[in-house]
Structure 1
Amino acid sequence: MKDRILANTEPKEVFHYFEDLTCIPRESGNEAAVCAYLVEFAKAHGLEYQTDDAHNIIMRRSAGKGFEDRAGVILQAHMDMVCEKNAGVEHDFAKDPISFEIEGDKIIARDTTLGADDGIGVALALAILADKSREYPALEFVCTADEERGMTGVEAFDGSLLQGSTLINLDSDDEGVFIIGCAGGPVVKVFLPIAREAAPADVSTLRISVRGLLGGHSGEDIHRCRANSIKLLCRLLYTLKESVALSLVDFMGGLKYNAIPREAEAIIAVPAGDVAKVEELTAAYQTVVAKEYRFSDPDISITCAAADAARQVLTKASRDGLLNYLYFTQSGIVRMNPEFPDIVESSVSLGVVRLEAEQAVIHVMTRSSMKSMYEEMFCHIRRLTELHGATYEVMSCCPEWEYDPDSGVKKTCGELYQKLYGKAPKYMVLHAGLECGELGEKAPRKLDMISLGPDVRNLHSPGEYVTISSTQKVWHFLRELLCQL
Structure 2
Amino acid sequence: MSQDIRNIEPKVVWNHFADLNSVPRPSKKEERIIQFMVDFGNNLNLETFVDHVGNVIMKKPATFGFENRKTIVMQGHIDMVHQKNADTVFDFDTEGIKMFVEGDWIKAEGTTLGADNGLGVAAIMAILSSTDIEHPEIEALFTIDEETGMTGAMGLKAGVLKGEILLNLDTEEDDEIGIGCAGGVDVTATKTYKEEETPANTTGFTIAVKGLNGGHSGMDIIKGLGNANKIMNRILFDSFTNFGLRISEINGGSLRNAIPRESFATVVVDTVSKEPFLFETTEVINTIKKEFSTLEANLEIEITEVIAAEKVMNLGVQEGFIKAIYSALNGVYRMSPDVDGLVETSNNIARIIVKDGTIKIACLTRSSSESNKWDLANSLRSCFELAGFDVDFEGTYPGWLPNLNSEILVIVENVYKELFKENPRVEACHAGLECGILGQNYPTIDMISFGPTIRGAHSPDERAQISSTQKFWKLLLHVLKNIPKKS
TM class by shorter-chain length? over 0.9
Q: TM-score, normalised by structure 1?
A: 0.97
Partner letter of residue 320 of structure 1? E
The DSSP-based 3-state class of the residue aligned with 1:338 is coil
Is contact 1:176–1:426 with CA below 8 Å preserved after alignment?
yes
Query: In structure 1, what is the Cα distance between the partners aligned to 2:385 and 2:348?
Result: 19
Query: In structure 2, what is the Cα distance between the partners aligned to 1:165 and 1:324?
Result: 51
1:480 aligns with 2:475: no
Aligned residues: percent identity? 35
Query: What's 1:357 paired with?
Result: 356
Query: What's 2:286 paired with?
Result: 287
Query: What's 1:40 paired with?
Result: 39
Query: In structure 2, what is the Cα distance between the partners aligned to 1:420 and 1:451?
Result: 18
The DSSP-based 3-state class of the residue aligned with 1:393 is strand
Is contact 2:62–2:135 with CA below 8 Å preserved after alignment?
yes
1:71 aligns with 2:70: yes
Is contact 2:144–2:151 with CA below 8 Å preserved after alignment?
yes
Query: In structure 1, what is the Cα distance between the partners aligned to 2:386 and 2:318?
Result: 15
Deviation at 1:299, TM superposition (A): 1.6
Query: What's 2:448 paired with?
Result: 450
The DSSP-based 3-state class of the residue aligned with 1:289 is helix
1:128 aligns with 2:127: yes
Deviates more, 1:60-69 or 1:468-477: 60-69
Deviates more, 1:101-110 or 1:150-159: 150-159
Equivalences for 1:387-402 in 2 at 5 Å? Answer: 387-402=386-401
Is contact 1:346–1:373 with CA below 8 Å preserved after alignment?
yes
Query: In structure 1, what is the Cα distance between the partners aligned to 2:115 and 2:403?
Result: 28
Is contact 1:283–1:303 with CA below 8 Å preserved after alignment?
no
The DSSP-based 3-state class of the residue aligned with 2:3 is coil
The DSSP-based 3-state class of the residue aligned with 2:341 is coil
Equivalences for 1:326-345 in 2 at 5 Å? Answer: 326-345=325-344
Query: In structure 1, what is the Cα distance between the partners aligned to 2:199 and 2:409?
Result: 65
Query: What's 1:237 paired with?
Result: 236
CA shift digits 1:150-202 (9 cap, x unpaired):
21222222232111111110111100111110000211222123221111111
The DSSP-based 3-state class of the residue aligned with 1:303 is strand
Is contact 1:457–1:466 with CA below 8 Å preserved after alignment?
yes
Query: What's 1:190 paired with?
Result: 189
CA shift digits 1:26-57 (9 cap, x unpaired):
01111111111111111111211210343210
Is contact 2:134–2:480 with CA below 8 Å preserved after alignment?
no
Query: What's 1:460 paired with?
Result: 458
Query: In structure 1, what is the Cα distance between the partners aligned to 2:19 and 2:307?
Result: 45
Query: In structure 1, what is the Cα distance between the partners aligned to 2:254 and 2:236?
Result: 20
CA shift digits 1:434-462 (9 cap, x unpaired):
0001101022x411111110011111111
Query: What's 1:101 paired with?
Result: 100
Query: In structure 1, what is the Cα distance between the partners aligned to 2:267 and 2:133?
Result: 65
Partner letter of residue 468 of structure 2? S
1:160 aligns with 2:159: yes
Equivalences for 1:42-441 in 2 at 5 Å? Answer: 42-441=41-440
Query: What's 2:468 paired with?
Result: 470
The DSSP-based 3-state class of the residue aligned with 2:242 is coil
Partner letter of residue 325 of structure 2? L
Deviates more, 1:383-392 or 1:219-228: 383-392
Is contact 1:353–1:362 with CA below 8 Å preserved after alignment?
yes
The DSSP-based 3-state class of the residue aligned with 2:9 is coil
The DSSP-based 3-state class of the residue aligned with 1:348 is strand
Deviates more, 1:423-432 or 1:52-61: 52-61
Cα distance, 1:309–1:241 mapped onto 2, change above 3 Å = closer
The DSSP-based 3-state class of the residue aligned with 1:160 is coil
Q: TM-score, normalised by structure 2?
A: 0.97
Deviation at 1:111, TM superposition (A): 0.5
Gap regions ≥5 residues in structure 1: none
Query: In structure 1, what is the Cα distance between the partners aligned to 2:49 and 2:188?
Result: 33
Partner letter of residue 454 of structure 1? P
The DSSP-based 3-state class of the residue aligned with 1:287 is helix
Deviation at 1:285, TM superposition (A): 1.2
Query: In structure 1, what is the Cα distance between the partners aligned to 2:281 and 2:300?
Result: 10
Deviation at 1:106, TM superposition (A): 0.7
Is contact 2:385–2:391 with CA below 8 Å preserved after alignment?
no
Cα distance, 1:53–1:25 mapped onto 2, change above 3 Å = farther
Is contact 2:185–2:394 with CA below 8 Å preserved after alignment?
yes
CA shift digits 1:394-424 (9 cap, x unpaired):
3311210011111111111111111011111
CA RMSD in angstroms comes to 1.4
Deviation at 1:387, TM superposition (A): 2.0
Query: In structure 2, what is the Cα distance between the partners aligned to 1:358 and 1:151?
Result: 31
Query: What's 1:16 paired with?
Result: 15
Deviation at 1:268, TM superposition (A): 1.3
Is contact 1:325–1:388 with CA below 8 Å preserved after alignment?
yes
Deviation at 1:65, TM superposition (A): 2.3
Is contact 2:229–2:262 with CA below 8 Å preserved after alignment?
yes
Query: In structure 2, what is the Cα distance between the partners aligned to 1:410 and 1:195?
Result: 57
Query: In structure 2, what is the Cα distance between the partners aligned to 1:3 and 1:288?
Result: 43
Query: In structure 2, what is the Cα distance between the partners aligned to 1:104 and 1:397?
Result: 40
